[in-house]
Structure 1
């Protein structure tokens, strides 16, 4: 008997934005808050990083990334829990979140001391042509970890051939990251305003 199909997560509404538009917003927000970003990618295989670094000035915010295409690398390079992988496979929300958290650690330079990379993004899913871990082609999870904690989104079910699934994942990951950065900045501004009123 096959496992029940989980509810599909809705995507972030967008109009005619391009990946470059989203990446530009992310870089602008990171630079404005003097924060840094690390990336951990599986099915996107470096496309998130390539999109971000196509933006002039990205080097001020983007620290680096890990393409953990093979399952053992998710464990050894990013610290994804082996028991979780054994139980759920790698196409799972908790794996995406642990990848994002691992991206923060992996992109923190040894001489940074306590200055851990501020944000991490993780992408895991099935681009095709075959299903994986019992999950259909197009199933994707995205994780984002920040200074105040993290969250994963999914499952998304992106239609189309392999490249379309990967492109849709990049768009969604950058959109979710932008939302998180905007929310974090709004929280900081609110905190500063409250402090001034004391």
Structure 2
């Protein structure tokens, strides 16, 4: 197990800086990542794969823009979707878990999974206003969701803010897993942002 994995946060860090940190931390820890995206439609995957060397840690992902694909490809519970809609913390968690599962191959599990679900606009969805977003992160220790976030601005701005926030949350989780010890910080709660 790697120890003392760190990144230096800058006041002017860019999406590329954050993505670079994520890839570097995953490489140093010998871990892998799978992604499941809805409203971001591949934005998280695009940000990660801009980083040279991302192929060493990024396995791939699923853009489950249509609700049925969340059920079919990511095993998101159909009853949950019927009851709560797709803009929900538990859906983000199940998408993250589905990303880990969908990208596991050769009996080597994917270490991390992330899931994004929300409303970019122009209209509300499932009774949730534009800008409502949930982010899920799954690891071998468990799964956690953050949200609801209330990102403002245009459709493009909501999607960009979601990509940045997703990678920030993942970066912090990967670093914390090793800096604080795998068993000391759980990821099973659904506490908000």
Q: After TM superposition, is the score higher than 0.5?
A: yes
Q: Which aligned pairs between 1:1-198 and structure 2 lie closer than 5 A? A: 15-109=11-105, 112-113=106-107, 115-188=108-181
**Per-residue Cα deviation, 1:118-160 (whole angstroms, up to 9, x for no partner):** 0000000000000000000000000000011110000000000
**Partner-residue secondary structure (3-state), 1:77:** helix
Structure 1-normalised TM-score? 0.86
* Count of residues in correspondence between the two structures: 176
- Contact 2:22–2:171, Cα closer than 8 Å, also in 1: yes
**Partner-residue secondary structure (3-state), 1:144:** strand
Alpha-carbon RMSD across the aligned residues, in angstroms, is 1.6
Instruction: Work out which of the two has the higher radius of gyration on C-alpha atoms and give 1 or 2.
Output: 1
Structure 2-normalised TM-score? 0.88
**1:14 CA displacement:** 7.3
Structure 2: unaligned runs, 5 residues or longer: 1-8, 185-193
1:190 and 1:82 map into 2 onto residues whose CA distance is 32
**Per-residue Cα deviation, 1:164-186 (whole angstroms, up to 9, x for no partner):** 00000000000000010011111
**1:48 CA displacement:** 0.1
